[in-house]
Amino acid sequence: MVNYIFQLPLYLCINYLHFFQSCKSIFMIKLLKNPTFSLFFFGNIISLVGFGFNIISISWLVLQETGSEFALGKIMATATMPGLIMALFSGVIIDKLNRKWLLILLDIFRTIVILIFLITISFKGFKLFYIYPLVIFMGLGNSLFWPTAQAFVQEISLEKEYFAANALLSASYQVGSILGAGIGGIIVHLHNPVLALWMNALAYIISAIFIGLAPFKSSKVSPKERSLISALSKGFSFLNERKDVLFLGFTTILSDVAIWGSLSVLTISISKDIFNKGTWGYGLMDGFYGVGALISTILVKQLITKMGREWSLLICYLIAGIMCLVSPIVASIYLASAAYFFMGLNNNSARIIVRTIFMENIPNKIMGRVQTILGVYTRLMVLLSSLYAGWLVENQSIFIGMVFSFFHYAIAFIGVLTLRSIFKKNSILAATHHA
């Protein structure tokens, strides 16, 4: 295992070009030739560029105004609350409505929220409490957009294309993150966060146009349940029957909680307080994470072909966790960015594998409800993670905060390690399907 840990980064880089040439064999090119998928793909990238602008702008506005990481943690936690409130309802919404038009409406909704905020501060000046309604309503839109996108991709893909579809969906997230973090950091550094937010609004409008142009007509049958409770019960019943899916979700999702929760606070703190690089350093670290994650979308199939799903997940979580511990103690922002590169490479490889397992095992007609139930847990953990990370930075140290992030990956590691021993027959980790 130790040999794998040290050989994996080199192995992945050596095989990058080779695997790129083999992408046609896993349906990536075929999917991108599908106008519905490709227009959604590029629209999602643009939307995520805007989201990157949003995160870095809000983070810097809060830190400029307060100088407090705990205050930033409270803002990040506030952004997750709408997801907790709406999550159980959103699953039913996602499964009942046309997912293409729901994505468009959510892009428009988030644009309006940002414009109201910008118009308000242009007349009344910036005040910190204006941030709270902004992140609440943005959190509401985000909490619906991302599970809708996941269910939409499953709907427009064949089962044999699920792995490739997940890889491409993840690629769109990473390209958007790279561009959003990089360009957003430069804009905030050279100009101001307000300009980045105007560009955020523009990005959502362009995203809505791209998705709107997608030639898609839903073929799914709307659920017949007449009550919300009846509709939701289908999702809970499924997870009760498939405890292996529930167990995998509740443990491995914590790796994403680390990114969206604790690290959303810690990354900018590392840049600002340890390396004195501000938004520029934040953009560099976040961008390098995105580059690593993007490369993972091309290389993850080689990884699971070589090592299988179980070993791939174990090693990915282990390396990502180690990188958390390394990043705040290295000598320069560039070495910290390199640590984030390997964090992104491994964390996103694991995410693609887990999401593919979900697609293979969760029927599309209830995907929204199941994903949203898992999302309630995710958002609760993100809320607690971001709050506690902010408190740790202010009252302990950034390194202690990164140790806390490490434990997110440790739990995911333990979850994978124990899954097959608990569910010995027909383990979902042992399956290869169309990967």
Rounded to 5°, the CA angle 126-385-366 comes to 100
Residue type, 288: F
What integer pLDDT is reported at residue 220 of this predicted model? 53
Question: Nearest to residue 178, comparing CAs of 324, 95, 292?
Answer: 292
What whole-number distance in Å separates Cα of residue 92 and Cα of residue 367? 10
pLDDT of residue 258: 84
Model pLDDT, residue 91: 65
According to the model, what pLDDT value does residue 66 have? 78
pTM: 0.69
pLDDT, residue 116, reads 92
Q: At what angle do helices 278-326 and 262-269 cross, to 10 degrees?
A: 120
Tens of pLDDT, residue by residue over 89-108, are 666 677 777 888 899 999 99
- Residues whose CB falls within 8 Å of the CB of residue 193, separated by 6 or more in sequence, listed in order: 56, 57, 58, 60, 61
Nearest alpha-carbon partner for 380 in 256, 286, 234, 241: 256
The full length of the chain comes to 435
Q: How far apart are CA 388 and CA 398, in angstroms?
A: 12
Instruction: List all residues 6 or more positions away from 168 whose beta carbon is below 8 Å from its beta carbon.
Output: 28, 31, 32, 37, 41, 297
**Which pLDDT value is given to residue 114?**
92
Binned average pLDDT, 10 residues per bin, the chain of 435 residues: 40 42 51 79 87 82 76 75 69 76 92 92 81 85 81 77 74 74 77 86 93 74 53 74 82 83 82 81 81 81 83 91 89 90 89 84 75 77 84 85 90 85 65 46
How many helices, marked H, and strands, marked E, lie in the chain?
16, 0
- Residue 279 is encoded by which pair of tokens? 């938004």
Tell me whether residue 420 is exposed, middle or buried, using C-beta atoms within 10 angstroms of its C-beta: 0 to 12, 13 to 18, 19 or more.
middle
Residues 274-322 pLDDT 10s: 888 877 787 788 878 888 887 887 788 888 888 888 888 999 999 999 9
Q: Which amino acid is at 317?
A: Y
Residue 197 makes CB contacts below 8 A (sequence gap 6+) with 53, 54, 57, 114, 117, 118
Q: State the Cα–Cα distance between residues 189 and 187, nearest whole angstrom.
A: 5
Contact 177, 48 (CB under 8 A): yes
Give the CATH H-level superfamily of domain 2-215+230-422.
MFS general substrate transporter like domains (1.20.1250.20)
CA 252 to chain centroid, in Å, comes to: 13
CB contact at 8 A, 352 and 164? no
DSSP per position, 220-258: PPPP---SHHHHHHHHHHHHHH-HHHHHHHHHHHHHHHH
